[in-house]
C-alpha cells in the first residue's frame, strides 16, 4: 500500500515537472529518455542524462543559479546513505526530478531528487567467487526509454525498469571466473547499450560490447586485442595476445556528426612485465575511433606503447571543437596531456601536466618516447608518475566558457619491480608489483586548469594528498571537486580560488554532477558511503 502511495507521488511529481518544463519534453512521453534527448542534452541542463553529462565528455553544467557570488552560501540539501562499505564511485543521472545511481556491490537506486527519499532499490545477487580488482565498485547507469542499464561485477549487462527497479533483461557478457567484470557506467547511443570490460589485472582479452536496449541481445563486440589475421595482431609476441589485457573499463564518448565512438583502453597484461609480449601491444593504452553502429575500427591512437607501468589510457577523453578544428583531448595517466585531431587520429600535441621521469624525448609524430632506464627491474626502479598515474579514472571537465580543461592530478612516484609469473586463468597476473618510493616526497595532489591550446597549466589548487575525485564545471563560473580528506570544494573556474567547502566525513572516490529540480540547482557528489546534494538555502 505504501509502495503504491510512493509511486503515485512520484508520478504526480514527474507529471508536474513534465508539464512545467520546456516544449522539448512535450514531444516525449514523461520519463521517457529518447536518443534525441541524449543528443541534445545541452538543451536541458536541468537533467543529467549520461555519465559525463553529455556525449562529448565535458562534465559541464549550463546551470548558473549557483555562481561565484553566492557559492559561499551552499548548504547540504539532503544525504542518501547506501549502508554499504567500500568505495562509492557513482555519478548519478537525473531525469525530470528523479535521480538514478548505483552503489557498491552492484546496487542501483532511484531517489526523489528534491529530497533524497528512495523510490526503489535494486541489488544484484553476486556470486561469492568474484574478485574484481580495486574494490566492488560501480560507477553509474545509462538510461534510454523507460529502462536504466548497468554492468555488473560478474560481467553481466542488466536492464532495470526505471520506475520500479524491476529486472527487465540480464545478459551474460563473458565468464567472470576468468577475471572479467564491469565497473563503468554504460553509454547509450541510438538503441545500443555500449560498455567495455574490466580485468586488466587478470590477463583477460579486452573488448567493447554493444547490446540492443530492448532485448539485451549483443549486436557487436570489438576485441581490443586483435586475433590472428587481424591488423595489429603482429604487435603481440607468440600467444601473448590471448591474455593481453587492454580492458576498456571507463565510459567512452560519442561524436554524433561522424557517428563515432571514441573509447579509451587500458594496460596490456601483465601490467608490470614486458618480457613475453614484445611489440607495441595494440590496442592497449589507446583511444579507438569506432563506428557506433557496427563497432568497426576507423582509427586508433596509442598513448603508451608496450606499457610496463600500468598506465591505462582509460581516462575519459573530451571532444573539443575550436577554431574549426575537431579535437579530442585527454589528460593521460602517463602524465602527458594529449590533443588529437579526431577526424584523423593524428597527434597535435603532448605536454606534461605533472612530474614525469619516464620520457625525455619524442618521436617524429610528437609522441613521448620512454627512456631506456624506465623499465621495471627485479629489485625495483623509481619512476614518476607512479602506477596510479598523474590522473586516473576520475573525470576531468571542460568548460567552453573559460576554455579550460580541469583535471585532478596526482603527484606520486613509485618503485616498479618485475618478476616472471606464469599465467593462471582467474588469478591476478601483474608480473610483480609497485610500491611507494620512500625517497620521493610525500604524495600530494592538485586540481589543475589546463589550456588545451598549448598544454600549459593556468592555475592549480593543491590538495595535501592525491584525490580520487573527478571535476565538474558549471556556467556559474565554478569548478567543483572533492578530496581524500572528505571535503567537497567549490572553486572559481577562472582563478582556482577556493570559495566554499564542506567536510563530508569520508573520502571522495567519485565525480560530481549537477541538476535542477523545482527551480533550484543542486550539485551532487558521493563520499564515504553517502550521496550528498548541495544547493543554496
Rule CB under 8 A: choose which of 100, 122, 169, 443 binds another protein.
443
Please provide the DSSP assignment of 200-225 as one string: TTTT-B-EEEEEETTT--EEEEEESS
Nearer to another protein, 388 or 472 (CB): 388
Residue 462 found at the interface with another protein (CB under 8 A)? yes
Question: Which three three-digit cell numbers place residue 285?
Answer: 593504452
362 with 350: CB under 8 angstroms? yes
Nearer to another protein, 86 or 352 (CB): 86
Residue 15 found at the interface with another protein (CB under 8 A)? no
- Cβ 63 to another protein shortest distance, Å: 25
| CA distance linking residue 270 with residue 274, whole number of Å | 7
- Cβ 316 to another protein shortest distance, Å: 20
Residue 131 found at the interface with another protein (CB under 8 A)? yes
Residue 425 found at the interface with another protein (CB under 8 A)? no
80 with 65: CB under 8 angstroms? no
Question: What are the strands, taking DSSP E only, across 52-198?
Answer: 60-61, 75-81, 93-95, 98-103, 107-112, 118-123, 142-144, 147-151, 156-161, 167-172, 187-189, 192-196
Count residues binding another protein (CB under 8 A): 46
CA-to-CA separations, 247 to 243, 267, 306, 536, in angstroms, rounded = 11, 7, 15, 41
Going by C-alpha positions, the residue among 390, 381, 336 that lies closest to residue 363 is 336
- Cβ 197 to another protein shortest distance, Å: 15
Rule CB under 8 A: choose which of 332, 359, 487, 529 binds another protein.
487
Residue 417 found at the interface with another protein (CB under 8 A)? yes
Residue 276 found at the interface with another protein (CB under 8 A)? no
Nearer to another protein, 317 or 386 (CB): 386
Rule CB under 8 A: choose which of 257, 464, 497, 505 binds another protein.
464
Residue range at the interface with another protein (CB under 8 A); choices 11-19, 326-334, 450-458, 461-469: 461-469
Residue 535 three-state SS: strand
Mask for 321-360, x = binds another protein (CB under 8 A): ----------------------------------------
Rule CB under 8 A: choose which of 35, 86, 258, 451 binds another protein.
86
310 labelled catalytic:
yes
Residue 392, phi then psi, degrees to nearest 5: -140, -140
- Cβ 132 to another protein shortest distance, Å: 7
- Cβ 267 to another protein shortest distance, Å: 14
Residue 5 found at the interface with another protein (CB under 8 A)? no
Within 374-413, the residues that bind another protein by CB under 8 A are 379-380, 388
3-state helix, strand, coil in the chain (%, to 5): 10, 40, 50
Catalytic residue among 67, 112, 310, 312: 310
Residue 438 found at the interface with another protein (CB under 8 A)? yes
- Cβ 495 to another protein shortest distance, Å: 16
Residue 44 three-state SS: coil
Going by C-alpha positions, the residue among 330, 307, 146, 172 that lies closest to residue 250 is 330
Residue range at the interface with another protein (CB under 8 A); choices 159-167, 339-347, 367-375, 496-504: 496-504
> Is the CA virtual torsion 476, 393, 88, 355 positive or negative?
negative
DSSP β-ladder status, 218-223 and 253-255:
unpaired
Cis peptide before 283 (omega within 30 of 0): yes
Question: Which three three-digit cell numbers place residue 119?
Answer: 523510490
41 with 301: CB under 8 angstroms? no
Residues of this chain that bind another protein (CB under 8 A): 86-87, 128-129, 131-135, 201-202, 379-380, 388, 417, 419, 421, 427-428, 430, 432-436, 438, 440-443, 461-466, 483-487, 489, 498, 501, 503, 509
**Residues recognised as catalytic:** 310
Amino acid at each position: 500500500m505504501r509502495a503504491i502511495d510512493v509511486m503515485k507521488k512520484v508520478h504526480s511529481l514527474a507529471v508536474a515537472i513534465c508539464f512545467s518544463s520546456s516544449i522539448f519534453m512535450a514531444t516525449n512521453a514523461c520519463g521517457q529518455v529518447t536518443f534525441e534527448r541524449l543528443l541534445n542534452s545541452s538543451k536541458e541542463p536541468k537533467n543529467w542524462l549520461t555519465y559525463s553529462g553529455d556525449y562529448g565528455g565535458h562534465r559541464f553544467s549550463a546551470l548558473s543559479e549557483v555562481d561565484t557570488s553566492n557559492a559561499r552560501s551552499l548548504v547540504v540539501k539532503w544525504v542518501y546513505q547506501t549502508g554499504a562499505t567500500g568505495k562509492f564511485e557513482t555519478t548519478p543521472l537525473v531525469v525530470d526530478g528523479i535521480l538514478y545511481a548505483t552503489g557498491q556491490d552492484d546496487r542501483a537506486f532511484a531517489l526523489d531528487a528534491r529530497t533524497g527519499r528512495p523510490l526503489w532499490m535494486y541489488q544484484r545477487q553476486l556470486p561469492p567467487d568474484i574478485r574484481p580488482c580495486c574494490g566492488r565498485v560501480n560507477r553509474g547507469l545509462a538510461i534510454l526509454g523507460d529502462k536504466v542499464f548497468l554492468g555488473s561485477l560478474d560481467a553481466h549487462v542488466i536492464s532495470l525498469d526505471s520506475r520500479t527497479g524491476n529486472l527487465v533483461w540480464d545478459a551474460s557478457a563473458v565468464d567472470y571466473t576468468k577475471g572479467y567484470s564491469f565497473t563503468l557506467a554504460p553509454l547509450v547511443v541510438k538503441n545500443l547499450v555500449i560498455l567495455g570490460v574490466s580485468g586488466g589485472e587478470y590477463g583477460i582479452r579486452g573488448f567493447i560490447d554493444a547490446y540492443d536496449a530492448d532485448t539485451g541481445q549483443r549486436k557487436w563486440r570489438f576485441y581490443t586485442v586483435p586475433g590472428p589475421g587481424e591488423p595489429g595482431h603482429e604487435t603481440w609476441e607468440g600467444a601473448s595476445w590471448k591474455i593481453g589485457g587492454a580492458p576498456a573499463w571507463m565510459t567512452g564518448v560519442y561524436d554524433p556528426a561522424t557517428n563515432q565512438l571514441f573509447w579509451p583502453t587500458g594496460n596490456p597484461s601483465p601490467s608490470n612485465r614486458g618480457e613475453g609480449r614484445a611489440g607495441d601491444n595494440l590496442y592497449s593504452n589507446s583511444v579507438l575511433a569506432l563506428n557506433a553502429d557496427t563497432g568497426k575500427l576507423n582509427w586508433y591512437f596509442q598513448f603508451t606503447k608496450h606499457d610496463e607501468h600500468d598506465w591505462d589510457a582509460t581516462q575519459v577523453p573530451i571532444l573539443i571543437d575550436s577554431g574549426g578544428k575537431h579535437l579530442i583531448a585527454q589528460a593521460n595517466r602517463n602524465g602527458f596531456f594529449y590533443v588529437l585531431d579526431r577526424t584523423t587520429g593524428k597527434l597535435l600535441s603532448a605536454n606534461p601536466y605533472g612530474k614525469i621521469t619516464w620520457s625525455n624525448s619524442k618521436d617524429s609524430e610528437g609522441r613521448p618516447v620512454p627512456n631506456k632506464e624506465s623499465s621495471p627491474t627485479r629489485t625495483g626502479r623509481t619512476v614518476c608518475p607512479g602506477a596510479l598515474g598523474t590522473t586516473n579514472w576520475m573525470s576531468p571537465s571542460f568548460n567552453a566558457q573559460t576554455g579550460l580543461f580541469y583535471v585532478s592530478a596526482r603527484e606520486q612516484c613509485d618503485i616498479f619491480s618485475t618478476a616472471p609469473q606464469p599465467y593462471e586463468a582467474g588469478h591476478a597476473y601483474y608480473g610483480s608489483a609497485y610500491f611507494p618510493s620512500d625517497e620521493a616526497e610525500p604524495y600530494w595532489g592538485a586540481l589543475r586548469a589546463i589550456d588545451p591550446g598549448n598544454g600549459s597549466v593556468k592555475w592549480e589548487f593543491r590538495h595535501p594528498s592525491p584525490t580520487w575525485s573527478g571535476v565538474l564545471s558549471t556556467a556559474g563560473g565554478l569548478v567543483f571537486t572533492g578530496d581524500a580528506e572528505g571535503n567537497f570544494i567549490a572553486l572559481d573556474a577562472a582563478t582556482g580560488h577556493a570559495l566554499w567547502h564542506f567536510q563530508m566525513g569520508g573520502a571522495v572516490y567519485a565525480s560530481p554532477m549537477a541538476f535542477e529540480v523545482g527551480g533550484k540547482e543542486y550539485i551532487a557528489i558521493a563520499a564515504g558511503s553517502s550521496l550528498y546534494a548541495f544547493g543554496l538555502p
